[in-house]
Structure 1
Amino acid sequence: MKALKILALALALLLALSACGVIRSGDGPTQAAGGSSPAEEPAPETAPESPEEAPPEVPTLRVGALKGPTAMGLIRMIADGGVNRYTLAGSADELTPAFIKGDLDIICVPANLAAVLYNKTEGQIVTLAVNTLGVLYIVENGGESVRSMADLKGKTIAAAGKGSTPEFGLRYLLEQNGLDPDRDVAVDWKSEHAECVAALAAGTADIALLPQPFVTVAQGKLENLRVALDLTEEWDALDNGSAMITGVAVARRELVEERPELVDKFLMEYAESVEWVHENTAGAAELVAQNGIIESPAIAEKALPRCNIVCLTGQEMYEKLSGYLQVLAEAAPESVGGVLPRDDFYYGA
């Protein structure tokens, strides 16, 4: 029995020693002194992913123009799209409220209206360019009674553009030819030039005051319609030191002062568009029709060379426009808003 007890004790000691050896040589984690686990090795540092940079914001200009020569000069810019947004309207009354509110940045409007807006906003608009020279005509359907301004005495004229260049240009020329615009001539004012064409076609008017391209549109519908008087020629015959101007492009002064680089870029693209229109009449006519300015590309192609589309800036703009407004102001101060604009009305002059 004593021998068995010694053997059992030896086996117990052997097992205890084996257990200690397993703990010391095992693969599992060991505890550090004090009973705490050793710090785990930190994960390798990786550079944080940089967020994708947002593309720079491209400024958008909101541009309004009338369905006529003022929009036709812009037609390549309109067709190309780009970042700018374009609004085409049948009358200036559709554009000016949005412009004054700040919903449009640049608008193309009758020349005298630009001066009126300058005075109405206390100088908060700037004229960027003359975009249309004289395009006004007196047309007569099926008759030969009008051969001079004096022949308009006693006649009724269908016209659009009351309060802007067509009205004041006509009044000035009538007065210069010895007629009283309020007594000697009756003017049936329409809201749009297209209404004048419709009146001629319906036979409710025989004589109308129309700008291009509406003259060409009307001649396409009425084979007996003839151009009786070219008001640009009538104006030039007065030799008053000015030229007849139909339309201009104006901008909000805030835009001009805060983002002149945008204004200069717009004018550069505008000049390029006008040049392209003159050099690519057929292609421009297609775009004019596609954008609803004239319904027929063939009529648009005939009208474009007669529309006197230009892009005059700087000193040339100043000389032509200031002379024209001076003549209007002397004849009817209300035509320019009461007083002539100051020199800050003319961009780059």
Structure 2
Amino acid sequence: MKNLLLKTKYTLLTLSLLLIALLVTGCNKENNYETLDSGHNQEIGPEEKDEKIDINIAALKGPTGIGMVKIMEDAANKETSNNYNFLIAGEADEISTGLIKGEIDIAAIPCNLASVLYNKTEGQIKIMGINTLGVLYIVETGESINSIEDLKGKTIYSTGYGTTPQYTLNYLLSLYGLDPDKDLNIEYKTEATEVAALLENSHDAIAMLPQPFVTTVMMKNENVRIALDIDKEWNKQNNNGGVVTGVVVVNKDFLEKNPEAVDLFLREYKDSAEYVNKNIDKAAELVEKYGLFKAAVAKAAIPYCNITFIGGSKMKEKVEAYLNILYNQNPNSVGGALPGEDFYYIP
């Protein structure tokens, strides 16, 4: 009987220990599950916990907006990291006013305008990347121009008097030893359509035009040909990185409040620019869909628009060199002074 009681106590003790072990193990499993679940939530938490923010983005009609079209499409399909509201403007003043007032957070604009706005707002506009390199071309209806030196003694029609096209052409001519005031005649017209008309009505007319006007003229007149690529000719004589046409800028206050959102946008922008260059047909359709210009023109023009995305120190080097050239010709072209170091946003 005594042995039976001992055996029963032993059995009960064993069962108790087993039950305790099971309870401990169960608690540990539950805690491990919570820990893993918590870790999982931490990984995806920013997407679930933080709501998408609204970002107002602007671009000009023309090449400087082309690199954004894939982002525009992704935003329309709710596939971007944040909510992007796009403004496609026909005039730079509309974007400038929005940036100054803080109504526009991010914009694709001409490089020199970014510097002008930086000076005007005392540093409230920062540049984040280059989105368009050279878009200027020398075209002609004849066969006489095969080098910059061939322009000597000729008449060139162009637009952009008192703006970057004039300064770019003057600097390029000087690189090849030509004086724009003495060695050739440059006639500036108000509208690109005027230049196009002159090309159509002459068998030996020479002009400097930007894309996509070059493509538009060539589509209307089979006698027009591209004689010289301004950016390529520039780089033959100058190692400073060439012409910087368009850049992406951000409002400083918005950047300081939303650095992660800005960095996400930059990654999406880079992907968008790559998409445009690799999928020209589809990109051309998006160019028309979002009101930049017609798809047929875009399809032919994109390979000549030098769409890109260059950020970081390389961006800074290229922009500084280009703005220096503009400043030396006319300080007002960059807002009266060269931007300081705080002009450049390098993540």
Distance, in Å, in 2 between the alignment partners of 1:71 and 1:131 is 9
TM-superposed CA distance for 1:310, in Å, is: 0.7
Residue of structure 1 equivalent to 2:137:
137
Deviates more, 1:339-348 or 1:78-87: 78-87
Partner AA of 2:240 in structure 1: G
Residue of structure 1 equivalent to 2:66:
72
What are the superposed Cα offsets for residues 42-64 of structure 1, whole Å, 9 maximum, x if unpaired? xxxxxxxxxxxxx9764222222
TM-superposed CA distance for 1:127, in Å, is: 0.2
Distance, in Å, in 2 between the alignment partners of 1:257 and 1:263 is 9
TM-score where L is the length of structure 1: 0.74
Distance 1:154 1:255, change over 3 A: farther
Distance 1:218 1:277, change over 3 A: same
TM-score where L is the length of structure 2: 0.75
1:309 to 303, 307, 310: 307
Q: Where does 1:131-170 land on structure 2 (aligned, <5 Å)? A: 131-140=131-140, 142-153=141-152, 155-170=154-169
Residue of structure 2 equivalent to 1:335:
333
Residue of structure 1 equivalent to 2:89:
89
Higher helix proportion: 2
TM-superposed CA distance for 1:300, in Å, is: 2.1
What are the superposed Cα offsets for residues 21-62 of structure 1, whole Å, 9 maximum, x if unpaired? xxxxxxxxxxxxxxxxxxxxxxxxxxxxxxxxxx97642222
Distance 1:194 1:314, change over 3 A: farther
Distance 1:315 1:194, change over 3 A: farther
Aligned-residue RMSD, C-alpha: 2.7
Residue of structure 1 equivalent to 2:43:
none
Q: Secondary structure at the match of 1:243?
A: coil
Distance, in Å, in 1 between the alignment partners of 2:169 and 2:345 is 28
Residue of structure 2 equivalent to 1:62:
56
Residue of structure 2 equivalent to 1:214:
213
Distance, in Å, in 2 between the alignment partners of 1:202 and 1:276 is 38
Residue of structure 1 equivalent to 2:275:
276
Structure showing greater radius of gyration is: 1
Q: Which consecutive aligned stretches of 4+ in structure 1 deviate over 6 angstroms post-superposition?
A: 202-205
Distance 1:189 1:116, change over 3 A: farther
Partner AA of 2:265 in structure 1: F
Residue of structure 2 equivalent to 1:294:
293
Residue of structure 2 equivalent to 1:171:
170
Residue of structure 1 equivalent to 2:324:
326
Conserved 8 A contact 1:112-1:164: no
> Size of the alignment, in residue pairs?
292
TM-superposed CA distance for 1:150, in Å, is: 4.2
Distance, in Å, in 1 between the alignment partners of 2:255 and 2:161 is 29
Residue of structure 1 equivalent to 2:21:
none
Partner AA of 1:313 in structure 2: G
Alignment gaps of 5+ in structure 1:
1-54
Residue of structure 1 equivalent to 2:31:
none
